[in-house]
Amino acid sequence: EYTRLPEEPVYIVKQNCNDYMRVEKELHLMFSEKRNRGGSCEWFTLDEEDIKVALDYIEKHKAS
Provide block-wise average pLDDT over 10 residues at a time, the chain (64 residues).
64 83 95 86 88 93 87
Spatial CA neighbour of 29 closest among 57, 59, 62, 60: 57
Instruction: Please give the pLDDT value at position 42.
Output: 80
Contacts 24+ apart (CB under 8 A), 50-57: 51/12, 54/27, 54/30, 55/12, 55/13, 57/23, 57/26, 57/27, 57/30
Instruction: Please give the pLDDT value at position 1.
Output: 40
